Amino acid sequence: MIEQLIKAQAYGLGFDLVGITDLGLAANAAAFDEWLARGFAGEMAYMVRTAEKRRDSRRAFEGVTRAIVVAMSYGGREPSGPVARYARGDDYHDIMLERLKTLHAWIDEQIGRHVVGKAYVDTGPILERDLARRAGLGWFGKNTMLINPRAGSFFFLGALLVALELVIDEPFEADHCGTCRRCIDACPTAAILEPHVLDATRCISYLTIELKGDIPTEFHEAIGDHVYGCDVCQDVCPWNQKFATPLRENEFTPRPIIAGRDSQTLSRDILAMTDEDFRMTFKGSPMKRAKLRGLKRNAAVVLGNVGAADDVDVLTRSFDDEKPIL
């Protein structure tokens, strides 16, 4: 069967989970609408702008009928640190998109014609988690992450949407979180308001990456030593503690500026960076998303939490008219 061959090829390309599903209205479309209505997307205006397409995956790319959904682990056994694990190496968008395009070309070859389709990795108007659940890859944890019973949640999701009639997999219907609420209780900023409801405007990942202006002072202390992103809700999850895997993909190996560095040292280095330093250090890194201005803002907050007296001079030297936010 072509479905089994596609899955085998995907595994051969380095993906850790693969499933196939049909397209249609997202099961959590109503919850997504409510999430937007409550303002939980914050400054992520693109979520509102593309909401109609996100509700129905058939609208993402004309003519497609199936989604080949994949997951790729980025490790979960490495020590926690000032940078979330997913962002320590090269940009996952580039790595996964290239492999999904390779899978697409392989399908064309097997079918003997060009199959209309498009690859998405956290960049298009689709709800990847919904597709992944429909494809049997896992359930929505109380922290809103997709959790797989054999892999935990430290993985990226991607999808290759194709105009090809494929046999679909059974959706993942069970919820294995039970009465556990470790992620809810552990969140430093109380961003998980209730099971499956995340206020992104309180989440450290949003505050240190997506937010462009000042980080509200009410969150400064709670940010602690998080310079970029946060893994707390995943770290405490029993499914990760049992099933998270060591880092296997060389592309996700931490860069020298991050590897083994504590938050104080990293923050000092970031505050001393010029624009050219930033471009060279974070070329091809997902950390570029915050831009140097955002990283320096984060570093200043972190030094306020973990710094020593001599960091006052480090902060003062970083002030300039172009970055008044510092």
Provide the H-helix boundaries in the chain.
2-12, 29-37, 45-49, 51-55, 92-111, 128-134, 182-186, 204-205, 220-223, 232-235, 238-243, 263-271, 275-281, 291-306, 311-318
Phi, psi of 290 (to 5 degrees): -80, -15
Distance from the first to the final alpha carbon of the chain: 58
Long-range contacts at 135-138 (CB < 8 A, ≥ 24 apart): 135/19, 135/20, 135/21, 135/67, 135/69, 135/168, 135/169, 135/171, 136/19, 136/21, 136/169, 136/170, 136/171, 136/172, 137/17, 137/19, 137/69, 137/71, 137/172, 138/17, 138/172
DSSP state of 152: B
C-alpha 303 chain-centroid distance? 25
**Distance from chain centroid for Cα 276:** 26
Secondary structure of residue 20 in the 3-state scheme: strand
Task: Establish whether 91 is a catalytic residue.
Answer: no
Number of CB atoms found within 10 A of residue 185's CB: 11
DSSP letter at 231 equals -
Q: Which of 122, 225, 269, 277 is catalytic?
A: 122
Encoding tokens for residue 46?
């693109």
Q: Which residues are catalytic?
A: 122
